[in-house]
């Protein structure tokens, strides 16, 4: 599909050959990018499909378009990679979500583990989840993807362990592991199509948390001889997993 401006749209707003774009996306099209009737754009339905569309009319909060054609995005990965990330300090999770979404991961689970330093007010959880979903959406738009990663949370670590069995393999990045690396763990589970990566907070995971994850079926892995920051570990490990399983990067 030609390199037109890309925008996510609710699939329910595509009806046959007609599409209706509303809200902030419509305002971005008309007010920020100043696109107009007759311009061609690319609409993403969040399900992996790209729709080439011709803008037919614009108003303050709405853009109408006619669908010219559609295809399945060839840039989506086969591996479903879930990043279970313990809530880091400051705005580090913004960076993690942005970069891992560019890489092509499928899902985030935000976790509140024992050594999490950042304490998020319960009244602001919905707002922060919405922010991270928006960051993920914008990252996928810009990098040529067509499927927005889910962003779920905030889960306790015990609740996270119940999610482990839903994956073909779950990996715990743990600084105390010395012998099993990502490559070795993935080679031992050749053919895995769904992977969960668990990354602790700045203070790391406790031994009891690691043991509970192992009891649920997770495998501890080392990310090398150096101790990485949480955001570095998350981004680098996701990239390494996708390289090993998909040949990406």
Q: Which residues of 2-22 are buried (b: 16+ CB within 10 A; e: fewer)?
A: eeeebbbbeeeebeeeebebe
Class in CATH terms, 80-246: alpha beta
Quote helix, strand, coil % in the chain, to nearest 5.
35, 30, 35
| pTM for this model (two decimals) | 0.86
**Positions of the chain with pLDDT under 70:** 1-3, 74
Task: Pick the closest to residue 23 from 130, 153, 173 (CA basis).
Answer: 130
- How high is the pLDDT of residue 204? 94
Q: Are 84 and 150 in contact (CB under 8 A)?
A: no
CATH architecture of 6-72: Beta Barrel (2.40)
- How high is the pLDDT of residue 2? 55
Asked if domains 6-72 and 80-246 share a fold, the reply is no
**pLDDT one-digit tens code per residue, 77-128:** 889 999 999 999 989 999 999 999 999 999 999 999 999 998 888 888 999 9
Residue 194 CB neighbour total at 10 angstroms:
15
Residue 131 C-alpha from the chain's centroid: 13
Cα angle at 187 between 139 and 111, to 5 degrees?
45
Domain boundaries, the chain: 6-72, 80-246
List the strands of the sheet with 194-199, edge to edge: 150-156, 107-112, 80-86, 194-199, 169-173, 219-221
- How high is the pLDDT of residue 46? 81
């Amino acid at each position: 599909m030609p390199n037109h401006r890309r925008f996510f749209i609710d699939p329910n707003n595509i009806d046959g050959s007609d599409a209706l774009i509303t809200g902030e996306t419509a305002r971005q099209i008309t007010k920020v990018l100043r696109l107009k009737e007759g311009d061609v754009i690319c609409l993403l339905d969040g399900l992996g499909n790209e729709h080439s569309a011709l803008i037919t009319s614009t108003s303050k909060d709405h853009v109408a378009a006619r669908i010219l054609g559609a295809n399945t995005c060839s840039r989506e990965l086969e591996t479903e990679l879930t990043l279970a990330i313990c809530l880091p300090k400051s705005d580090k999770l913004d960076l993690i979500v942005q970069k891992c979404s560019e890489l092509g991961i499928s899902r985030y689970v935000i976790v509140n583990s024992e050594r999490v330093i950042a304490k998020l007010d319960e009244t602001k959880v919905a707002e922060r989840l919405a922010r991270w979903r928006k960051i993920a959406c914008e990252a996928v738009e810009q990098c040529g993807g067509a499927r927005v990663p889910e962003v779920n949370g905030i889960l306790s670590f015990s609740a996270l362990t119940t999610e482990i069995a839903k994956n073909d393999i779950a990996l715990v990045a743990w600084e105390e592991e010395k012998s099993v690396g990502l490559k070795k763990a993935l080679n031992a589970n050749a053919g895995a199509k769904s992977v969960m990566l668990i990354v602790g907070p700045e203070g790391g995971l406790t031994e009891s948390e690691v043991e509970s994850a192992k009891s649920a079926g997770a495998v501890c892995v080392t990310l090398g001889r150096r101790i990485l920051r949480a955001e570095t570990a998350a981004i680098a490990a996701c990239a390494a997993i996708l390289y090993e399983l998909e040949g990406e990067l």
